Amino acid sequence: MHNNSFFHVFFDLDKTLTKSRAPIASEHAPIFVALCKKSDVVVVTGGMAEHIREQLPKESEGMYAMLAQSGNEAVAKNGEVLWFEKFSDEQTKRSLAFIEKLKKYFNVKVRDENDLVELRGAQINYSVVGYHETPEVKYTFDPDFSKRKAALAQFPLEQAQLAEVDVLVVPAGSSGFNIIHASKNKGDNVARLLARENWKKEDCLYVGDALGPGENDETVIGVIPTHAVKDPDDTFRFIRENLLS
């Protein structure tokens, strides 16, 4: 792959640029900054804009755009909010009721019941084991998404009811779920940004760890070219060898 092929590079955050809810590794930070100087970098994640800023290098602030909350909180490099698609009260109510059913299904003993749900504004997130659990616990809970996909398969009626109010539940991160606008997923919002900026899809690339069926990066497939990675080390090896070399 020629390193000049892509002018606009989109990245997932957790398990792609950084470990789950963790700061970027010190050895990866200068590589990220170097790429931001060379290309348009856009970070696409279920997390909020503030989570992105906390996890990425301080010296890179203002050098990348953000499609936070699965792209429903869009922020330009200069900090301008491009759009913010908030959940309605009805969407929130139904989503929280579904989370309670998932909690009973998993029946996991957690350290802190208050560390499981985040109302982020444009989406709701549920961590089965807790956002601030140890990386070991989070990464070993469901590394191949199979437990979370099996859980969703148990609730077809509930998911159909969520769909009535434009809500979709997808496995995301190491041990959680993103509860998002069904008609405004990552792929939709990547396309929206391309249209706004007048970027050509062939000049873009999306890099993520969850491009498989039913996973939270899958919706980007077909919108722009994609490249699957296993973890941050794999991501930054790809950047060095193909985007910066």
Do residue 174 and residue 189 come from a single domain?
A: no
d(Cα 229, Cα 236) in Å, to the nearest integer?
Answer: 10
Residues 111-144 have pLDDT tens digits of 999 999 999 999 999 999 999 999 899 999 999 9
**Mean of the per-residue pLDDT values of the chain:** 95
* 123 phi/psi in degrees, rounded to 5: -165, 170
% residues pLDDT > 70 (the chain): 98
For strands 204-208 and 8-11, give the pairing.
Answer: parallel
pTM beyond cutoff 0.75: yes
CB 21 within 8 A of CB 51: yes
Do residue 81 and residue 16 come from a single domain?
A: yes
Listed residues 154, 181, 208: the one ending a domain: 181
Can you list the alpha helix ranges (DSSP code H) found in 39-171? Answer: 49-55, 89-106, 135-141, 146-153, 156-163
CB 177 within 8 A of CB 170: yes
Q: Is the pLDDT of residue 13 over 70?
A: yes
Residue 54's CATH number = 3.40.50.1000
Average the pLDDT over 224-232 and give the result.
97
- For 111, the 3-state DSSP assignment is coil
Q: Is the pLDDT of residue 1 over 80?
A: no
Average the pLDDT over 28-43 and give the result.
98
Report the number of distinct structural domains present in the chain: 2
Listed residues 139, 162, 181: the one ending a domain: 181
